Amino acid sequence: MYVAVKGGEKAIASAHRYLAEERRGDPALPDLAVDQIAEQLGHAVSRVMAEGSLYDRALAALAVKQARGDLIEAIFLIRAYRTTLPRFGASRPVDTAAMAVDRRISATFKDLPGGQVLGPTFDYTHRLLDFALAAEGAEPPVADSAPDPLDPAMPRVLDLLNREGLIEPAATPDEDGPVGEGPVGEGPVGDLTRDPLAFPAGRDLRLQNLARGDEGFILALGYSTQRGYARNHAFVGEIRVGLVAVEFEPEELGFAISIGDILVTECETVNQFRGSKTVPAQFTRGYGLVFGHGERKAIAMALVDRALRCRELGETPQAPAQDEEFVLSHSDNIQATGFVEHIKLPHYVDFQSELELVRRLRRAASAHAEAAE
């Protein structure tokens, strides 16, 4: 029997008004401006853009405000918003070697062309609460400025290794995914926002999935690879954070134009070797790229990308991080939160049937016991 239940509209409307008042907080305090969030909560904005899979700082800041700082809720708002806009096409792949670098470090080479550039980092801070930030009206801090800008030539660290043949090239024929997807490097690019994910997934789909996947989930999986659940000991070859130009070819022009710059974080890991009787040992690669400034996510993404390349590199998958179906099916925090949280919504009828069943089983058991006496 299906029982339609009506009611609750008034309670829901009042709950949302209550939420709006709570969101605003104490009206004696100034309202939080969206551009304050965009400027001063940059990492929250970065995460919402990365996992919302939509680069727009102002929208991400608005979502953070509307969600009262619940970043997964904010990501949900962004994902919902993007479905309202038409897609004009795909960009040319961004050239991260030509990035205007804010930060660029390597954990593998101390002296490298272009140097180690720390940029605006939490690294080497003492993680002591700074009570000066709680005071109002402080003078805005001013960064140091060198007399000369960075050397525009910032070669990719892994390309330096590649020159000696010590590391696998960035594109290998077998990483492109299932055979028959076109020539190496330039085949059709899979898009999991258009086609449902199928397994085995090509590296393009894996990277797209990881780039928009939940930071906490990817972080935990990356950590598991370091603790031994998919051994491929990783070094951070390079992290770079900065602006890259986006080039897009509008249909009416017939040539690509630069439409603006986006902030991205890139991480390349250098991992343990692969070699055979015919091919001498070489380092292998993992790759992470995310919108905004998000190093934790980019490093974890590179670790998991490398772990997911296990079959291609002749390793036997045995750890969760190497299980493509497990990783890719559970990385999306909007899917996850939808399914996990939906069980709080009314399930009165489902539960009623379970209740009936338990009562019947108990009646049968007690009747059976009485008969046995």
Partner 1 sequence: MTVSAPPSDSPTEPDDPHIAARRRWMAVLARGSAAELADHWGRLGEGLSHDRLRAPESGLVMVRGRAGGSGSPFNLGEMTVTRCSVRLADGAGGPARVGHATVAGRDRRHAELAALFDALLQDPARHDAVERTVIAPLEAAQAAAAEARSCKAAATKVDFFTMVRGEDT
Show contacts with partner 1 in window 92-151 (CB under 8 A): 92-97, 100-103, 110-111, 115-121, 143-150
Contact of 96 with 244, CB cutoff 8 Å: yes
- Binding of residue 50 to partner 1 (CB under 8 A): yes
Go through 53-87 and write b for each residue having 16 or more CB atoms within 10 A of its CB, e for each that does not.
Answer: bbbbbebbbbbbbebeeebbbbbbbbbeeeeeeee
H-run or E-run covering 230:
none
Q: Report the phi/psi class of residue 26: left, alpha or beta, with left for phi > 0 and alpha for psi in -120 to 50.
A: beta
> Smallest distance, Å, CB 180 to partner 1?
15
Q: Closer to partner 1 at the Cβ: 7 or 254?
A: 254
Burial of 242 (0-12, 13-18, 19+ CB in 10 A): buried
Residue 280 binding partner 1, by CB under 8 A = no
Q: Rounded to the nearest whole angstrom, what is the least distance from the CB of residue 151 to partner 1 in the complex?
A: 9
Cβ nearer to partner 1, comparing 32 with 94: 94
82 binds partner 1 (CB under 8 A): yes
Residue ranges in 244-273 that form contacts with partner 1 under rule CB under 8 A: 245-248, 250, 252-253, 255-262, 264, 266, 268
Q: Is 67 in the site for partner 1 (CB under 8 A)?
A: no
Contact with partner 1 (CB under 8 A) among 75, 161, 205, 310: 205
Of 54, 71, 218, 236, the one binding partner 1 by CB under 8 A: 54
Q: Is 367 exposed, middle or buried, given 0-12, 13-18 or 19+ CB atoms closer than 10 A?
A: exposed
Residue 241 contacts residue 24 (beta carbons within 8 Å): no
Q: Convert residues 161-200 into a mask of x (bound to partner 1 by CB under 8 A) and - (unbound).
A: -x--x--xxxxxx-xx-------xxxx-xxxxx-------
Residues that bind partner 1 (rule: CB under 8 A) add up to a total of 97
Structure tokens at 64: 């953070």
